[in-house]
Amino acid sequence: MNNSRLVASITHYIEEHLQEKITLEELALQLHYSKYYLLHEFKETTHQSLYNYIKRRRLNEAARALLYSDQRIIEVAVQTGYQSQQAFTKAFEELFKLTPRRYRLQNKQFFIEEPFVVADYLVWAEQRDLHIRQGRLEDQLAILYFVQLMRGALPYLEKEEYLRSLRLFISEGNCYLAWAKGRIVGLLLFDQKRKRIENLTALPSCWNLEIEKNLLTTLVREKAPRFLSTTTFRVADKLDIGHRQRLLNVGFVPNEQIMEVNYPTERLVLSLKE
């Protein structure tokens, strides 16, 4: 079994037992692999630990229940595997930066992180497959699909608000897409007035292609900004699987810690002066 099939088997098992106690010992027994091998292959493919993935899946399903059902919070907590509402609230707030109650009261259609599907997340591409161009209005559904996959990199997005802003970026020529094998694998949205990058992210399976660097190079060539800023996760944010470090790798440096839509983030800056 190659690592793609193995990860598919792992995620399938998790979804079937999401409301039960999942142990690494039982998972290894069911799939006939060592515990170490399972942990290594899963992280190698998904860029996150198996424990973190299970926790995030459960909390995202809890978020879905809070938005789309009338279950009491304690009922959602127990269904998610927590023995008390207090423990559930602590874990939920750690991930979403809001208490379950406040999350529910906002009553907005947030992107919910879906199960990891190997066929969706893995794109076997090389540098020669990469193509960067400006986004078009007909790309909206493909962009939304990509953003849904990248929910972990673009936390706390509300669908309708995002669509409205996306159309504006596209109409102003400030949406850049990286394509490979007929799929969007990278996205950059640029607020030209504020010289601010709203989104800059790439599919983890294509991180070796330096997509963020290629998107930035295209932006600088076409728009010639002398200075850029963006925001990302703070150090040690449990939602981050490496996206902050990706921005640091292309030259952004930390500037200040801020709050965005009640979410604690960090402002990064990039000087492009010669």
* Range with the poorest average pLDDT among 5-19, 75-89, 148-162, 238-252: 148-162
26 backbone φψ class: left, alpha, beta (φ>0; ψ -120 to 50): alpha
Q: Which one-letter DSSP state was computed for residue 39?
A: H
2 backbone φψ class: left, alpha, beta (φ>0; ψ -120 to 50): beta
Tell me the mean pLDDT in the region 89-107.
87
pLDDT at site 255: 94
pLDDT at site 159: 78
Concatenating the DSSP letter of every residue in 67-83 gives HH----HHHHHHHHT-S
> 138: burial class by Cβ within 10 Å (0-12, 13-18, 19+)?
exposed
pLDDT at site 156: 61
Q: Which one-letter DSSP state was computed for residue 202?
A: E
The yes-or-no verdict on residue 141 having pLDDT over 70 is: yes
The yes-or-no verdict on residue 155 having pLDDT over 70 is: no
Residue position matching structure tokens 């459960």: 58
Confidence of residue 115 (pLDDT cuts 50, 70, 90): confident
Whether the model clears a pTM of 0.95, i.e. scores above it, the answer is no
Confidence of residue 151 (pLDDT cuts 50, 70, 90): confident
The yes-or-no verdict on residue 116 having pLDDT over 90 is: no
| Two tokens, residue 77 | 């907590």
Q: How far apart are CA 177 and CA 225, in angstroms?
A: 18
Give yes or no for a contact between 28 and 34, defined as CB atoms under 8 angstroms apart: yes
Confidence of residue 114 (pLDDT cuts 50, 70, 90): confident
Q: How far apart are CA 92 and CA 85, in angstroms?
A: 10
Confidence of residue 96 (pLDDT cuts 50, 70, 90): confident
Backbone angles phi, psi at 8, to 5 degrees: -60, -40
Considering only residues 189 and 21, tell me which one the structure prediction assigns the higher pLDDT.
189
Can you name the residues that pair with 183 across neighbouring β-strands? 180
Secondary structure, 3-state, 163-198: HHHHHHHHHCCCEEEEEECCEEEEEEEEECCCCEEE
Mean pLDDT in the chain? 90
pLDDT in tens, 190-213: 999 999 999 999 999 999 999 999
Tell me the mean pLDDT in the region 160-179.
94
Tell me how crowded residue 225 is: count the other CB atoms within 10 A of its CB.
Answer: 17
Tell me the mean pLDDT in the region 90-101.
87
Confidence of residue 158 (pLDDT cuts 50, 70, 90): confident
pLDDT at site 48: 87
pLDDT in tens, 229-262: 999 999 988 778 899 999 999 999 999 999 876 6
Please count the residues of the chain: 274
pLDDT at site 32: 92
The yes-or-no verdict on residue 13 having pLDDT over 80 is: yes
Confidence of residue 72 (pLDDT cuts 50, 70, 90): very high
6 backbone φψ class: left, alpha, beta (φ>0; ψ -120 to 50): alpha
The yes-or-no verdict on residue 107 having pLDDT over 90 is: no
Confidence of residue 70 (pLDDT cuts 50, 70, 90): very high
Tell me how crowded residue 105 is: count the other CB atoms within 10 A of its CB.
Answer: 11
Can you name the residues that pair with 269 across neighbouring β-strands? 229, 253
Considering only residues 224 and 158, tell me which one the structure prediction assigns the higher pLDDT.
224
